[in-house]
């Protein structure tokens, strides 16, 4: 649209034409592998033959500038993508760009150069500087680009955007990635009559939306609208807007009654796919009846696929959530509805795949009422999250012949009174946090589990063994477990094990013949790691120790880890020496040592790790030199040193004392700056 590639048959058809052209290109396989992320952003790939053809035809007009590349025809260049970095130069005579995209923030030295390049462009139609975070002066530059149609910009370190932004009368798309500092948008935004898309991400700090947005008659997407008390901020500003995509309406406390809510005309907005409705959290301003009437009046169109309701303080939900009026709903999130005494019968919804219930203080039981009265309850649901329900005691399935037949992912958190889980035949992943240990008794019925996360139990009874034969990933943490001796006896399929914030380590990990990854973190009582744990782990490929503040040594040899390829030592301030048995890790390919302040030197035997290809040393401030053994690391492709002041001096190119030891390494970064880049592969 911005560059005129989409033909117009009148203003109202432009966006539709673009979608039809995109579908046509997909149908003809010019574009492939279409993916849509959780924000609704579409990505795709181009067929390699089409890519080669397009590159050939547009070679003088289009270019991606990155490491080692040089622009051959800067005067004819119209479309430039830029990856700032080592050994990249922008010619001074680029002045006729139509599109400019910065794909990475890059280093500090590039920021002034990017601003200078933008200031020279008189014909720019599309500008994407979303990855360019230091933009205090950038908005003023952008305001001078009178031909601009498309603008994506990060707003970090900015509280208010300049009013002069509204002078961009040709602008069709405005996308802003906000920080927690952005408070206001330009008040004169209503003057940007050609605006089609207004999208703001991370708008938590925004105090209000500009007045008179209802005047933007061509607006097709509006990510946020904050209801105010004055006329130009009331909810009826949405009445005539043909909105689609994602819409978040906040400040619903300022909606007077059901008739006022109906003026938003949400029920006719058939292109909306996602809707968020939010009140303030205290619920003191209005009565329970007021909340119920307003939500009743905000009924959306049946095409809606996702809805989120926050801080609703009615005692029950409206009728339109209890019927098949929203038969296309795929995701529902209900948050901080503290006064609600009943969950609507969502089990009837045939397309619902994801459901999140957070902060229902008054709910004591999940029973037949929320299942509905159909043949199958929640027939398509795959993901369910139940959180912060302090009085929930029971979860029982209803009278449906089949309940939760497709549920694969379940999260239970902050439900201290919940004592049981129903039989869930398809469940693959279970996460339980800060809840009752009696829930663990239900594990014996969940034989299909492949992933289990258990955190924050006040008590931890004997782990139910003999039932989890299919378990592949297990995380246990923040619990006073006295023994782990029997926990792993029947987990022969386990591939990943994460132990966090535990008082004790198991003496052995028997029968874990399939274990490939072991992570140990935040075990602050651990002073010496018993290497015998690794004895039976013949398949172990990845091992990490993180934030174990008192870990000082490794007791016993670690010769058993014969397949180890990745080792991480992070946040071990008491560690003074690397264990000598590490030199037996002859298959090691990646080594990361971070935040080990007690480490003063590295052993010379590191040179025996012949397959090592990546070595990162970060924030080991007392590390004073590199060993001569580095010269023997012929497979080492990348060295990354950061926050090690003594090493930084010794690794300076070409006269640093340790430079001769590392000069053969193709890629070397010192404090995020590339000092050597010889790898052209």
Place of tokens 């400019």: 100
What does each C-alpha distance from 179 to 141, 158, 281 come to in angstroms?
20, 8, 22
Which run of H or of E encompasses 45?
strand 42-46
Is residue 543 within 8 A of residue 515, CB to CB? The reply is no
562's CB contacts (< 8 A; 6+ apart) are 538, 586, 587
Return the closest-CA partner of residue 496 out of 509, 515, 522: 515
Alpha carbons 101 and 85: distance in angstroms, whole number: 15
Q: Phi and psi of 26, rounded to 5°? A: -70, -45
Q: Are 362 and 338 in contact (CB under 8 A)?
A: yes
**Residue 317 exposure: Cα atoms within 13 Å on the Cβ side:** 21
Count helices and strands (H / E) in the chain: 9, 36
Alpha helices in 517-665 (DSSP H): 645-650, 659-662
Q: DSSP letter string over 220-258?
A: -EESEEE--SSGGGSGGGGTT---EEEEEEE-GGG--SH
Q: Which two tokens stand for residue 467?
A: 């039932």
Give ∠ CA 276-281-286 in degrees, rounded to 5: 95
More confident residue, 361 or 179: 361
Distance CA 223, CA 248 (A): 6
Q: What is the pLDDT of residues 435-467, one digit of tens each?
A: 888 888 888 888 899 999 998 876 665 566 667
Helix, strand or coil for residue 430? strand
Percent of the chain with pLDDT over 90: 46
> Are the CB atoms for 339 and 314 separated by under 8 Å?
yes
Residue 289 structure tokens = 């009846």
Helix H or strand E encompassing 50:
helix 48-57
Q: Per the structure block, which two tokens stand in for 594? A: 């971070």
pLDDT digits (tens, 9 = 90+) for 10-23: 555 677 787 888 88
Q: Label residues 459-476 b or e (16+ Cβ within 10 Å = b).
A: ebeebbeeebebbbbbbb
What is the b/e burial string over 304-337, where b = at least 16 CB atoms within 10 angstroms of the residue's CB?
bebbbbbbbbbebbbebbbeebbebbbbbbbbbb
Mean pLDDT calculated for residue range 109-131: 79
Question: Span 624-646, mean pLDDT?
Answer: 94
Could you read off the pLDDT of 482-498 as tens digits, one per residue? 555 566 777 889 999 99
CA 385 to chain centre: 17
Residue predicted with more confidence, 116 or 365: 365
Q: b/e for 583-603, b at 16 or more Cβ within 10 A? A: bbbeebbbbbbbbbbebeebe
Averaged pLDDT, 509-521: 88
- Find out whether 112 and 131 touch, Cβ atoms under 8 Å: no
CA distance 390 to 548: 32
pLDDT digits (tens, 9 = 90+) for 201-212: 867 778 888 999
The enclosing H or E element of 283 equals none
Q: Half-sphere exposure of residue 328, counting CA atoms within 13 Å on the CB side?
A: 12
How many Cβ atoms sit within 10 Å of the Cβ of residue 192? Answer: 23
Beta carbons within 8 Å of 365's beta carbon, 6+ residues apart: 392, 393, 394, 395, 396
The DSSP bridge pattern shows strands 553-555 and 542-546 to be unpaired
Q: What is the DSSP string of 476-541?
A: EESS--S--TTTTTT-TT--EEEEES-S---S--TT-TT--EEEEE--TT-SEEEGGGGTT-TT--
DSSP one-letter string for 185-206: --GGGGG-TT--EEEEES-TT-
What distance in Å separates the CA atoms of residue 342 and residue 497, rounded to the nearest whole number?
39
Q: Is the pLDDT of residue 147 over 80?
A: yes
Task: Specify whether the CB–CB gap between 257 and 293 falls below 8 A.
Answer: yes
What pLDDT, on a 0 to 100 scale, did the predictor assign at position 133?
A: 55
> 535-550: b or e for each residue (b if 16 or more CB lie within 10 Å)?
bbbeebbbbbbbbbee
User: pLDDT tens digit string along 202-247?
Assistant: 677 788 889 999 999 989 999 999 998 888 889 999 999 999 999 9
The tokens describing 627, both together, are 């060993």
Q: Is the pLDDT of residue 134 over 60?
A: no
Three-class HEC string of 308-324: EEECCCCCCCCHHHCCH
Q: Identify the CA nearest to 376 among candidates 333, 346, 356.
A: 346
pTM of the model: 0.84
Beta bridge partners of 453: 431, 475
Q: Read off the tokens for 386.
A: 């139940």
Range of 7-11, 137-141, 338-342 with top mean pLDDT: 338-342
pLDDT confidence of residue 292: 92
Look over the chain and give the mean of its residue pLDDT values, rounded to a whole number: 85
Which of 100-104, 612-616, 642-646 is the least confident region?
A: 100-104
- What is the pLDDT averaged over residues 271-288? 85
CA angle 280, 286, 291 (to 5 degrees): 80
Strand, helix or coil for residue 133:
coil
pLDDT, position 184: 84
């Amino acid at each position: 649209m911005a560059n005129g590639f989409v033909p117009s048959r009148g203003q109202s058809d432009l966006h539709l034409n673009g979608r039809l052209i995109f579908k046509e290109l997909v149908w003809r396989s010019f574009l492939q592998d279409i993916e849509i992320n959780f924000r609704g952003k579409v990505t795709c790939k181009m067929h390699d033959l089409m890519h080669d053809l397009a590159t050939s035809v547009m070679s003088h007009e289009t270019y991606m500038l990155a490491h080692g590349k040089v622009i051959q025809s800067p005067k004819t260049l119209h479309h430039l993508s830029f990856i700032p970095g080592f050994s990249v130069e922008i010619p001074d005579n680029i002045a006729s760009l139509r599109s400019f995209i910065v794909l990475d923030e890059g280093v500090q030295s590039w920021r002034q150069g990017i601003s200078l390049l933008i200031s020279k462009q008189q014909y720019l139609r599309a500008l994407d500087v979303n990855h360019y975070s230091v933009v205090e002066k950038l908005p003023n530059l952008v305001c001078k680009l009178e031909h601009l149609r498309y603008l994506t910009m990060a707003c970090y370190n900015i509280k208010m955007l300049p009013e002069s932004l509204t002078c961009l009368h040709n602008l069709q798309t405005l996308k802003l990635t906000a920080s927690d500092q952005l408070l206001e948008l330009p008040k004169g935004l209503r003057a940007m009559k050609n605006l089609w898309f207004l999208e703001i991400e991370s708008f938590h700090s925004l105090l209000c939306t500009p007045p008179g947005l209802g005047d933007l008659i061509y607006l097709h997407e509006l990510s946020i609208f904050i209801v105010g008390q004055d006329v130009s901020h009331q909810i009826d500003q949405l009445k005539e807007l043909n909105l689609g995509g994602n819409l978040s309406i906040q400040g619903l406390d300022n909606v007077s009654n059901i008739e006022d809510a109906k003026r938003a005309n949400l029920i006719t907005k058939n292109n909306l796919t996602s809707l968020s409705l939010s009140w303030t959290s205290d619920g003191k301003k209005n009565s329970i009846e007021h909340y119920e009437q307003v939500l009743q009046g905000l009924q959306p169109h049946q095409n809606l696929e996702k809805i989120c309701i926050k801080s609703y303080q009615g005692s029950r939900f409206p009728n339109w959530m209890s019927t098949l009026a929203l038969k296309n709903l795929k995701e529902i999130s209900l948050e901080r509805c503290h006064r609600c005494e009943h969950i609507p019968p969502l089990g009837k919804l045939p397309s619902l795949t994801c459901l999140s219930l957070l902060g229902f203080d008054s709910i004591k039981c999940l029973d037949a009422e929320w299942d509905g009265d159909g043949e199958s309850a929640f027939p398509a649901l795959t993901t369910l999250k139940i959180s912060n329900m302090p009085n929930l005691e029971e979860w029982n399935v209803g009278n449906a012949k089949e309940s939760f037949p497709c549920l694969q992912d379940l999260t239970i958190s902050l439900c201290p009174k919940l004592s049981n889980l129903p039989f869930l035949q398809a469940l693959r992943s279970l996460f339980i946090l800060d809840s009752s240990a009696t829930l663990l008794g239900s594990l014996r019925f969940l034989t299909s589990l492949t992933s289990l996360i258990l955190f924050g139990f006040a008590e931890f009874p004997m782990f139910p063994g003999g039932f989890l034969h299919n378990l592949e990933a297990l995380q246990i943490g923040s619990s006073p477990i006295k023994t782990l001796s029997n926990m792993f006896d029947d987990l022969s399929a386990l591939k990943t094990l994460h132990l966090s914030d535990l008082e004790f380590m198991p003496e052995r990990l028997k029968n874990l013949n399939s274990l490939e990854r072991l992570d140990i973190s935040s075990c602050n009582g651990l002073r010496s790691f018993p290497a015998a744990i690794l004895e039976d782990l013949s398949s172990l490929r990845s091992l990490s120790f993180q934030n174990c503040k008192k870990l000082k040594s490794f007791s016993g040899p670690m010769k058993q880890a014969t397949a180890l390829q990745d080792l991480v030592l992070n946040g071990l301030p008491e560690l003074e020496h690397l264990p000598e048995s590490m030199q037996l890790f002859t298959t090691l390919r990646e080594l990361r040592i971070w935040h080990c302040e007690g480490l003063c030197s590295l052993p010379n035997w590191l040179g025996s790790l012949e397959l090592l290809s990546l070595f990162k040393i970060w924030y080991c401030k007392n590390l004073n030199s590199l060993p001569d053994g580095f010269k023997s690391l012929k497979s080492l492709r990348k060295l990354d040193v950061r926050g090690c002041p003594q090493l930084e001096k010794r690794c300076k190119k070409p006269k640093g004392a340790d430079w001769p030891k590392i000069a053969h390494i193709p890629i070397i970064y010192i404090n995020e700056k590339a000092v050597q880049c010889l790898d052209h592969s």
